[in-house]
């Protein structure tokens, strides 16, 4: 039977080859010959950028390039598995930005959501839609989609932050728009901390009609986040894979701060050895305090304050802490949940 089958296959093969060629002229291909692997994960690989390596390069950039020339003086973190993409993962972009005293990053807006996580220095501010907020280390600062924004620095030392955007998602959909503001900066038209006053005290305007899918807050200050994490660390429970992990919430909806990006902070006790975990959201992590390691199978990255690393979708990892540690992170989980794709798995025993 099998011999008969193979001889008939051989007989039909020239006709099949002609058929394939005919289909190609019609921009069509047979599904039954597709070799694409239909499974979770993609080409992104685990990678880490140590602050001790990146900080000197940012300071060199500050000597070599002005903000007038660069508009944003940023080193993009490109995943080694996605060469040429300029993306850290297939769904999120990451960069390290440095701004010097007196400099201005001119005003613009884009259809993509952006956020900053401040790593070092004080005296820099971010202006969004007429409100100016000062940024300090550990602060998570938002620039929601299509909002005018510029940055400046009235302090005395370089300020460095981690930039995150959902550019790959907008690019995927062909919905990337961008425009420059008429002037270098926008006027400050709102009171100091106005967004915090309106939306940051567990109270909302009765007739709130924002229309925005992003959080109305401009900044989630680190001192408050840290205090909450440490209080919760004493209350428990501690998740076996993630320690005490919280998500930043949009106070108007209870959802994520952005329609595409979910943002998290977690506390790990000294000596924590996390269970093996994987999820479909590609995650970027940044060590805020302490030291630890993250293991992807046999590949282990040691991390300390300021280091940034990525956990690609559905690749199993274990996070450990040598000392008490705090880790900031963000991922495409907001988009995946909205679309019904998101899954996670904590593996038992020595799996993964
Ligand atoms: Fe921007």
Structural domains in the chain, sorted by start = 47-346 (2.60.120.10)
- Pair type for strands 93-99 and 104-110: unpaired
Q: What gap in Å lies between CA 78 and CA 345, rounded to an integer?
A: 27
pLDDT in tens, 41-84: 999 999 999 999 999 999 999 999 988 888 889 999 999 999 99
Distance from residue 114's CA to the centre of ligand 1 (Å)? 7
SS in 3 state form for 102-158? Answer: CCEEEEEEECCCEEEEEEECCCEEEEECCEEEEECCCCEEEECCCCCEEEEECCCCC
Residue 229, Ramachandran bin (φ over 0: left; ψ between -120 and 50: alpha; else beta): alpha
Q: H/E element holding 115?
A: strand 114-120
pLDDT in tens, 1-15: 445 555 577 889 999
pLDDT at 201: 93
Structure-block tokens of residue 249:
């919430």
Distance from residue 195's CA to the centre of ligand 1 (Å)? 20
Q: Report the share of the chain in percent with pLDDT over 90.
A: 87
Distance from residue 105's CA to the centre of ligand 1 (Å)? 9
Q: What gap in Å lies between CA 346 and CA 352, rounded to an integer?
A: 10
Judged by average pLDDT, the poorest of 58-72, 147-161, 269-283 is: 58-72
pLDDT at 80: 98
Bridge partner residues of 247 (DSSP): 264
Residue 348 has pLDDT above 90, yes or no: no
Distance from residue 148's CA to the centre of ligand 1 (Å)? 8
Structure-block tokens of residue 288:
């805020």
Judged by average pLDDT, the poorest of 51-60, 197-206, 207-216, 229-238 is: 207-216
The mean predicted confidence, pLDDT, of the chain is 94
pLDDT in tens, 169-200: 999 999 999 999 999 999 999 998 999 999 99
Higher pLDDT residue, 116 or 69?
116
Compute the average pLDDT of residues 270-297.
97
Query: Dihedral of CA 294/295/301/302: which sign?
Result: positive
Distance from residue 117's CA to the centre of ligand 1 (Å)? 14
- pTM for the model: 0.93
SS3 category, 84 = coil
Distance from residue 281's CA to the centre of ligand 1 (Å)? 24
Compute the average pLDDT of residues 249-268.
97
Distance from residue 151's CA to the centre of ligand 1 (Å)? 9
Residue 352 has pLDDT above 50, yes or no: no
């Amino acid at each position: 039977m099998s011999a008969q089958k193979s001889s008939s296959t051989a007989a039909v093969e020239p006709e099949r080859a002609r058929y394939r060629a005919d289909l190609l002229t019609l921009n069509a291909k047979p599904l039954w010959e597709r070799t694409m692997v239909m499974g979770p994960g993609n080409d992104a690989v685990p990678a880490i950028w140590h602050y001790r390596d990146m900080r000197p390069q940012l300071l060199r950039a500050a000597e070599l390039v002005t903000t007038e020339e660069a508009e944003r003086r940023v080193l993009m973190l490109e995943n080694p598995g996605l060469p040429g993409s300029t993306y850290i993962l297939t769904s999120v972009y990451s960069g390290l930005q440095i701004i010097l005293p007196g400099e201005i990053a001119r005003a613009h807006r884009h259809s993509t959501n952006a956020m900053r996580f401040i790593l070092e220095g004080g005296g820099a501010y971010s202006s969004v839609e007429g409100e100016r907020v000062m940024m300090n280390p550990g602060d998570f600062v938002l620039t929601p989609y299509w909002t005018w924004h510029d940055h400046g620095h009235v302090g005395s030392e370089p300020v460095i932050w981690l930039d995150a955007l959902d550019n790959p998602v907008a690019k995927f959909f062909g919905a990337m728009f961008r425009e420059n503001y008429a002037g270098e900066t926008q006027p400050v038209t709102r009171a100091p901390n106005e967004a915090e006053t309106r939306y940051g005290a567990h109270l909302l305007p009765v007739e709130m009609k924002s229309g925005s899918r992003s959080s109305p807050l401009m900044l989630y200050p680190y001192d408050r986040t840290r205090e909450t994490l440490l209080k919760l660390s004493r209350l428990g429970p501690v998740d076996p894979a993630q320690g005490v992990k919280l998500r930043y919430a949009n106070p108007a909806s209870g959802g994520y701060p952005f329609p595409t990006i979910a943002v998290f902070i977690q506390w790990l006790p000294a000596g924590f050895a996390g269970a093996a975990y994987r999820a479909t959201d590609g995650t970027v992590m940044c060590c805020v305090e302490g030291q630890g390691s993250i293991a992807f199978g046999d590949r282990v990255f040691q991390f300390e304050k300021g280091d940034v690393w990525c956990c690609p979708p559905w690749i199993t990892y274990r996070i450990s802490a040598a000392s008490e540690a705090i880790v900031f992170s963000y991922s495409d989980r907001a988009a995946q949940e909205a679309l019904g794709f998101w899954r996670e798995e904590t593996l038992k025993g020595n799996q993964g």
